[in-house]
Structure 1
Amino acid sequence: MENYTAITLRDLLKWEHLVLGTDIIPKQRVSSLLVGKHASMMRGRGLDFEEVRNYVAGDDIRNIDWKVTARTRRTHTKVFNEEKERPALIVVDQSSYMLMGSQLYLKSVIAAHTAALAAFRTIKKGDRCGGIVFNDHQIDWFAPRRSRQAVLQLLKAVSNQNNELLERQQVTDNSEQLEKTLKRIANYVTHDYIITLISDFSQCSPASFRIIKQLSVHNDVILVHIEDQLDVLTNISDMLITDGDKQLFWRKLKPETIQREKAEEQALKEKLKQIQRRYKTPVLYLNTAQPLEEQMRDIFKSK
C-alpha cells in the first residue's frame, strides 16, 4: 500500500520501471508544456572543440574564430564534436517546510518521487547522475556517476531524510541551508550541466535566486515547484488539522493575514516566471493532490 506521508527506498525504485513512459526533460518546445510564451529547447548535449578550418558557405557564423580570421586574413570557423554524455545534478529539498500537505501527499513525498523519476531517466539516457539532498541541518552530496549504484545511493539519502522529517518537533527556517546548497553547486559545476532543483521555494532568499540565475546562464536548470492548496489561504474556512495523533482546530485567518500570504505566494510565482522568461528555464508545477504519474501524464500529454 502506498504511503502518502513518508517513503522508503523500495517506493522510489518503482520509477526504474515506470521511467520509460515519461521524461522530466522536455523534448519539444517548452512553451507547449509550461507557463510562459517563450519558445526554447533544452541546450542538448554539450560540444567539445575539435579543430579550426576554413569557413564554408552555410556554416554557422556564430562559430567563426575571429582571432584566427584576423591573423590569417581568411575566414575560419570552429568545429565541434557532440559530447557523449551530460552530467546531471538532482537537488532535493527535504526540509521541515516540505512536511506539509492538505490533500493526498506531503510536499516532501512528491519531491522524493520526482527525484527518483529524474535520476532513473538520467542514467537511462546514458548521462552521469549525482545530486544533493538537504534538510534543516544536513547536506548530503553525491558527485555525478554513470551507474545504477550512484542512483541508489542518492535515493537512499532521500529516503533517510524523508523519514527523519516525521520526527521533527518544530519547523526551522532553512533559507540559509538552501543558499549553502546552491553555493556548493555553483562552485562545482562548469557548464552544460542539467540541474533539477525540487522544492516549494518558500525559503528561497534573494541570494538563492541570484545563484539560480547565475547557474542558468551556462547550464540547463529545471525548477520543480511543489505546491499545496494551503500555500494560499484565501478561501480556507475553519477546519480540523491532525497528524494522526494530535488535533488542532484551524480558524479562518484575519483578512490582512490572508492578503499577506497571497502576496507572498504571488511574489514567488513572479520570480519563477522571471527566471523562466529571461533564462528560458523550464518550471514544472507539481501539487500534493495527485499521484506523480498522473501529473506527469498531464504535463507531457502532448508528447
Structure 2
Amino acid sequence: MNQALKKILIKTKKQVFSEIIGNNSTKIKGEGYDFCELKEYEYGEDVKNIDWVISAKMQKPYVKVFYAQKELNVNIVSFLNGSTYFGTDIFKQEIIIQIASALGFICVKQGNPFSSFIANENLEICTKKSKQIFNVNFMSEQKYYYNVIGKNINYEKITKELFKSIHHKSMIFLIGDFFDIEKLDLKLLCQKHEVIALIVRDKFEEAPIELGNVNFIDPNNNRSFEGVLNKNTVETYINKIKENDHKLYNHFQNCAIRFTKIYTHEDPIKKLIGVLR
C-alpha cells in the first residue's frame, strides 16, 4: 500500500475511534426510543404508540413517532471527476478519500454494514456491503488510485442508478464538489432514503486572485484555456459560483438534506462529525 494512503488511513482511523460518536444516529423514523413527533393516528398503526393524554386533550387519537434505533444500511458515494484533481495544498480527491474512509470506520465502529460507489459518467460499485475494516482499506485504495482526469459527472444518470440499485431504506452520503448542478435532482432519492451531502471545495475555487495572463487545462475534458484572469473575469466567475451554490443549497433544503462544506485546508473529520451529531 502507498505510504501516503497508509498515513491517511492511520490518521483517520485514530480520529474516528478516539471520538465519542453515538451508536446508530439516524433521522429515519421507525421503532426506537428517541422521540421524533406526534401525529394523528391512522388505521393500521400500532395502538401501543397512542399518547392517551394528548389524545384526550385533542379529542382525537394521536400516536408517538420515534427515530429508528437499528442497524443502518450506509452507502458512501464519491463523485470522482476531473475537477477533484485540484487543490492549492491538498487535492480534493484526497479529502474525499479521507471522508469516505472515516465513514467506513464509523460504520465498522457502530456495527453498520456499508457499501461504496464511485460516480461520474457511470455508477461503479467500489465495495459490496460489509462491516469489515479490510473493506475500508480496499475502498480507500480503489479511490486513491482512481484516474479522475477526463471524467465528467452525469448527475441525472447517477441518481437514477442509485435509486434502482439501493433497494432497502438507507443512509446515503454524497461526497463531491457539486459544480454544474443544473441536472441534479435528489427529490426521488430522498423519498426513499436519508441523504447527507458533503461538499468538498478549495478556497481558490471560490475566491481566485488576479493572475493576469493564464494558461489552464480543464481536467474534466483535457482542454487548454488561455486568457486573462483580471478583476472583471474574477468577479464574473465568483458570481457564477454563488449562483450555483444558491441553487444547490435551496435544492438541499427543499429535499430536507443535511449538508456541510469542507475545504481542503480544514480537518475533514471534525466537519464530518459535526454534521452527523
- What's the TM-score once normalised by structure 2's chain length? 0.71
Q: How far apart are residue 185 of structure 1 and its match?
A: 1.1
Task: Give 5+ residue unaligned stretches, structure 1.
Answer: 28-40, 49-58, 70-74
Contact 1:90 1:131 (8 Å CA) reproduced: yes
Q: Give the equivalent residue in structure 1 for 2:237.
A: 261
Q: What value does the CA root-mean-square deviation take over the aligned residues?
A: 4.2
Equivalenced residues, count: 252
Q: Give the equivalent residue in structure 2 for 1:16.
A: 13
Q: Distance in 2 between matches of 1:225 and 1:175?
A: 15
Q: Which structure 2 residues correspond to residues 1-303 of structure 1 after superposition, within 5 A?
A: 7-9=4-6, 11-22=8-19, 42-44=26-28, 46-47=30-31, 61-62=39-40, 64-65=42-43, 84-102=70-88, 104-134=89-119, 139-161=124-146, 164-165=147-148, 168=149, 172=150, 174-176=152-154, 178-190=155-167, 192-206=169-183, 209-210=184-185, 212-233=186-207, 235-238=209-212, 251-253=228-230, 255=232, 257-293=233-269, 295=271, 299=274
Contact 2:77 2:174 (8 Å CA) reproduced: yes
Q: Distance in 2 between matches of 1:131 and 1:229?
A: 27
Contact 1:142 1:154 (8 Å CA) reproduced: yes
Percent of matched pairs sharing the same residue = 16
Q: Distance in 1 between matches of 2:21 and 2:173?
A: 9
Give the aligned residue type for 1:107: K
Give the aligned residue type for 1:265: I
Residue 296 to residue 183, structure 1, CA distance change in 2 (3 Å): closer
Q: Distance in 1 between matches of 2:229 and 2:116?
A: 40
Q: Deviations over 1:262-300 (max 9, x none)?
A: 232112221232133223311111001234356558x47
Residue 269 to residue 17, structure 1, CA distance change in 2 (3 Å): same
Residue 12 to residue 153, structure 1, CA distance change in 2 (3 Å): same
Residue 125 to residue 142, structure 1, CA distance change in 2 (3 Å): same
Give the aligned residue type for 2:15: L
Q: Distance in 1 between matches of 2:87 and 2:178?
A: 15
SS of aligned partner of 1:225: strand
Q: Distance in 2 between matches of 1:274 and 1:23?
A: 32
Which moved further from structure 2: 144-153 or 195-204? 144-153
Contact 2:102 2:269 (8 Å CA) reproduced: no
Q: Distance in 1 between matches of 2:250 and 2:176?
A: 17
Residue 60 to residue 142, structure 1, CA distance change in 2 (3 Å): same
Q: How far apart are residue 155 of structure 1 and its match?
A: 1.9
Q: Distance in 1 between matches of 2:105 and 2:235?
A: 41
Residue 47 to residue 215, structure 1, CA distance change in 2 (3 Å): farther
Q: How far apart are residue 24 of structure 1 and its match?
A: 9.0
Give the aligned residue type for 2:152: N
Q: How far apart are residue 241 of structure 1 and its match?
A: 9.0
Residue 214 to residue 275, structure 1, CA distance change in 2 (3 Å): same
Contact 1:45 1:192 (8 Å CA) reproduced: no
Q: Distance in 1 between matches of 2:264 and 2:66?
A: 44
SS of aligned partner of 2:118: strand
Q: Deviations over 1:227-283 (max 9, x none)?
A: 11222346434498999xxxx99852361x334322321122212321332233111
